[in-house]
Amino acid sequence: MTTPAQLAALDGAGIDGSLYTAVTDFARHTPWLNGPVTAYTSYGIGLFALFMLAGWWTARRGSDATMAAALAAPVAAVLAYLVNDGIKSVFTEPRPCRALPHDFLLEACPAPDDWAFPSNHTTVAAAVAAALVLVDRRLAAVAALAALLMAASRVYVGAHYPHDVAVALVTGALVSLAATATARRLAAPAVGRLRTGGLRPLLHRA
């Protein structure tokens, strides 16, 4: 039986279903690319943990505010994920594999209550990249490119519509920038105190 929530769910196929189909058709005709993209979309999120680690390492020679931002990056990513998950529960958009079951898929269709809008993978990737803007711009640029590739991969494998990843990029970036900027402003004095104590080797490089 269809519930009222299901009836009110976002119709993703009606927004950009044709573009989604064009991308998955491209995936159908580029089998040589399927393996690398599938591997990246499945495991590439681990790369963003390395970006945050690199941000911390870089921040050791920076100001107290820069180190505060680096330490806040994981928190900002988790917060962005939670906000994104809340949006998912409001819009309850069915995955494209259910609305367009005959389109080409590289990733197995998730459970019916695993909603599509917005993309969690993309949100977390964007959140990390945005947080690093306040740590190191060059590192942030590399992370931003990786986040865009993550967004594209989610559509390529058939897991999300283009608008799912577009909104996720914005959500992750905005939540993360707000959280990281707040930490940079408010936590810098505490970080400064910690840098003169037992944690100095972890937080400061002479």
Tens-level pLDDT at each residue, the chain (206 residues): 344 444 456 777 787 888 999 999 999 999 999 999 999 999 999 999 999 999 888 888 878 888 888 889 999 999 999 999 999 988 888 888 888 888 888 888 888 888 889 999 999 999 999 999 999 999 999 999 999 999 999 999 998 999 999 999 999 999 999 999 998 888 778 777 766 765 556 556 65
The number of beta carbons lying within 10 Å of the beta carbon of residue 188 is: 16
Give the phi and the psi of residue 103 in degrees, each rounded to 5. -75, 160
In a domain, 73, yes or no: yes
In a domain, 167, yes or no: yes
CB 22 within 8 A of CB 101: no
Domain count, the chain: 1
The pLDDT, as a whole number, for residue 105 is 87
CB 41 within 8 A of CB 159: yes
In a domain, 86, yes or no: yes
CB 84 within 8 A of CB 120: yes
Position of tokens 């959140």?
127
In a domain, 98, yes or no: yes
Closest listed residue to residue 40, CA positions, set 148, 115, 117 = 148
Position of tokens 């039986």?
1
Residue 57 CA to residue 13 CA, distance in Å, equals: 43
Range of the domain at 187: 22-195
Q: Count CA atoms closer than 13 A to 63's CA, side-chain side.
A: 11
